[in-house]
């Protein structure tokens, strides 16, 4: 029997519509480096969605997008504020530091940054013997599947503007956040409250691709130079433009994310009903469940997942769903977890 797959949301090729769209264009030729009409159309679609005359860049991957955005924004002595669990702080092999910038970390609360900690960090760094905090990095959805509310993001945005900090949102799973039951934010609001943000395609049904949206006029010039310098410019940029056309058409991106969320949150609820405890309560497509070592040892042979934390008497495992997850696989997992 094939293993169940709850390992991550980037283990399948792509939504079938994506390949179909590429196939339709097999005989066409395009301009290089994203300066093509397909990318222009996709860019226009993004601007309509966010209701802003932002600059829109289609990039290859999440680490690359974070690195480009942050390196582009900062002067050498400037630093990022992020939670300790932030993707840039732990899972990107020092990609931000490679560009010369320190990441100042604060404790997350429920996966999210607390405005007061931003202020405290700014206050700690007041002279030339320390770095200058200049950009706040948050992820929405967060690394543990929670989402920011409109109140929370508004407060963070205010704090950032009061303290001359850019607000950058890593939206690798922004689609999932947008359709979370806990979400009350819209794309235009996100655009208005932040200075730059991304919308991830890699983890939501595309072959690959992230949209980098730059709303702050001060950050717009020369982004393409930063993209190229950091190795993030695809010669066949039109592949990204074509894919994001599919992504945004008829809100496919939301449909795919909703599919994933519903399955994961259903799974989370059922597992709690079965008596499992959660390491944290998720609002999106990643859930974090504590299981016994015995359960772990049998489960790992029939299901792919990631181990999040190993304790003496239990293991926290992560189950992730995606556009490609089948409802019947969730049912199968629940059955297995019952025993």
Q: Looking at beta carbons only, is 95 or 267 nearer to a second copy?
A: 95
- Least separation in angstroms between residue 213's CB and a second copy is 18
The burial of 124, by beta-carbon neighbours within 10 Å (0-12 exposed, 13-18 middle, 19 or more buried), is given as exposed
Nearer to a second copy by Cβ, of 101 and 156: the residue is 101
State the nearest-atom distance from the C-beta of 8 to a second copy, in Å: 6
User: Could you give the CA distance from residue 197 to residue 180 in angstroms, rounded to a whole number?
Assistant: 18
Record the tokens describing residue 156, joined without a space. 């963070």
Of 159, 185, 199, 233, which one interacts with a second copy (CB under 8 A)?
A: 233
In 243-329 the beta strands, taken as DSSP E runs, fall at 277-280, 286-291, 303-304, 306-310, 315-320
Residue 241, CB-side half-sphere exposure with 13 Å CA sphere = 23
Sign of CA dihedral 53, 57, 58, 60: negative
Tell me: does residue 71 bind a second copy (CB under 8 A): yes
- CA dihedral angle for residue 5, residue 9, residue 11, residue 12, rounded to 10 degrees: 100
Write down the least CB distance from residue 62 to a second copy, Å: 7
Peptide bond into 141 cis (omega under 30): yes
Q: Which residue of 324, 330, 333, 337 would you call a contact of a second copy, by CB under 8 A?
A: 324
Interactions with a second copy, residue window 86-115 (CB under 8 A): 90-95, 97-103
Contact pattern for a second copy over residues 291 through 320, marking x by CB under 8 A: -------------x----------------
At a CB cut-off of 8 Å and minimum separation 6, what does 150 contact? Answer: 184, 185, 189
Give whichever of 66 and 183 is closer to a second copy, judged by the CB atom.
Answer: 66
Question: Which position among 202, 204, 285, 286 is part of the footprint of a second copy (CB under 8 A)?
Answer: 202
Give the range of 41-49, 174-182, 221-229, 246-254 binding a second copy by CB under 8 A. 221-229
**Interface with a second copy in residues 4-33 (CB under 8 A):** 5, 7-8, 10-14, 16, 19, 22-23, 25-26, 28-33
The site map against a second copy for 234-273 (x = CB under 8 A) is xxx-xx----------------------------------
Comparison of 191 and 201: residue with beta carbon closer to a second copy: 201
What lies within 8 Å, CB to CB, of 83 at 6+ separation is: 89, 105, 106, 107, 108, 111, 112, 113, 138
Tell me the C-alpha to C-alpha distance, in Å, between residue 207 and each of 10, 19, 79, 241, 326: 9, 9, 32, 12, 19
Work out which of 108, 111, 232, 241 binds a second copy, going by CB under 8 A: 232
CB distance 317 to 308 below 8 Å: yes
If binding is defined by CB under 8 A, does position 57 make contact with a second copy? no
Interface with a second copy (CB under 8 A), residue from 77, 297, 309, 311:
77
Q: Phi, psi at residue 304, to the nearest 5°? A: -90, 130
């Amino acid at each position: 029997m094939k293993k169940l797959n709850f390992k991550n949301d980037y283990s399948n090729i792509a939504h079938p519509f994506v390949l179909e769209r590429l196939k339709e264009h097999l005989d066409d030729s395009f301009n290089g480096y994203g300066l093509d009409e397909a990318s222009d159309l996709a860019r226009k679609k993004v601007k309509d969605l966010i209701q802003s005359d932002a600059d829109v860049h289609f990039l290859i991957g999440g680490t690359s997008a974070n690195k480009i955005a942050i390196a582009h924004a900062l002067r050498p002595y400037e630093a990022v504020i992020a939670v300790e669990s932030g993707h840039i702080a732990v899972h990107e092999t020092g990609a931000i530091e490679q560009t010369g910038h320190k990441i100042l970390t604060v404790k997350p609360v429920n996966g999210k940054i607390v405005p007061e900690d931003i202020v405290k960090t700014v206050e700690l760094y007041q002279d030339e013997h320390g770095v200058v905090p200049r950009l706040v990095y948050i992820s929405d959805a967060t690394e543990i599947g929670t989402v920011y509310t409109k109140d929370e993001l508004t407060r963070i945005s205010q704090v950032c503007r009061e303290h001359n900090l850019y607000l950058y949102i890593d939206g690798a799973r922004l689609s999932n956040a947008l359709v979370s039951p806990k979400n009350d934010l819209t794309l235009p609001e996100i655009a208005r409250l932040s200075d730059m943000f991304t919308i991830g395609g890699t983890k939501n049904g595309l072959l690959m691709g992230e949209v980098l949206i730059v709303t702050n006029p001060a950050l717009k010039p020369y982004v393409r130079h930063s993209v190229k310098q950091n190795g993030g410019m695809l010669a066949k940029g039109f592949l990204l433009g074509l894919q994001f056309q599919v992504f945004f058409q008829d809100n496919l991106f939301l449909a795919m994310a909703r599919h994933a969320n519903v399955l994961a949150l259903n799974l989370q609820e059922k597992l709690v009903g079965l008596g499992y405890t959660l390491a944290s309560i998720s609002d999106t497509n990643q859930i974090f469940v504590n299981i016994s070592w015995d359960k772990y040892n049998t489960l790992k042979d029939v299901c792919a997942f990631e181990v999040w934390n190993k304790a003496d008497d239990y293991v926290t495992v992560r189950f992730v769903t995606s556009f490609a997850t089948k409802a019947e696989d969730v049912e199968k997992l629940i059955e297995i977890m019952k025993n």
